[in-house]
Amino acid sequence: MADAVSSDPPVPQVLSEIQAGDGLSLSAAGRLFPAHRGNGTVDPSTVWRWARKGSKAPDGRLVRLEVCRVGGRWLTSRSALARFISALSAAAGSASNQPTPPAARTPTTRRKSSERATRELERRGA
């Protein structure tokens, strides 16, 4: 019985950080960042949205802020915020290193290309 498997769910990393004293309320987390428009800071509802719905990275994947419910309130940590921002920034950096897709063809370009292909098929007897 030395190899017994624990049935307890794993403790989220953010919970360990909160227990270590690094817990932040969603409003405190929002105050760490400047507002997108004008003066002020990020609203707590924006931090909640980062946690519940996530934020889409340039590569298309969804990145969520780690939060943990403690009693009647939701908490996060500075480290969880750093991981969230890092994931979005890393995705943005890798997306900018990818080659840009070719520009969409205009209707005229598509028509001329199609006519050229038709002439080539006729010439080959297809």
pLDDT given for residue 51 in this prediction: 95
pLDDT at 8 over 60: no
pLDDT given for residue 99 in this prediction: 58
Report how far Cα 1 is from the mean position of its chain's Cα atoms: 42
pLDDT tens, 92-117?
665 555 555 667 788 898 899 999 99
Higher-confidence residue: 90 or 87? Answer: 87
State pTM to two decimals.
0.64
pLDDT given for residue 6 in this prediction: 47
How far is the C-alpha of 34 from the C-alpha of 57, rounded, in Å? Answer: 20
pLDDT given for residue 9 in this prediction: 57
Longest dimension (CA), the chain: 78
pLDDT given for residue 44 in this prediction: 95
How many helices and strands, by DSSP H and E, does the chain display?
5, 5
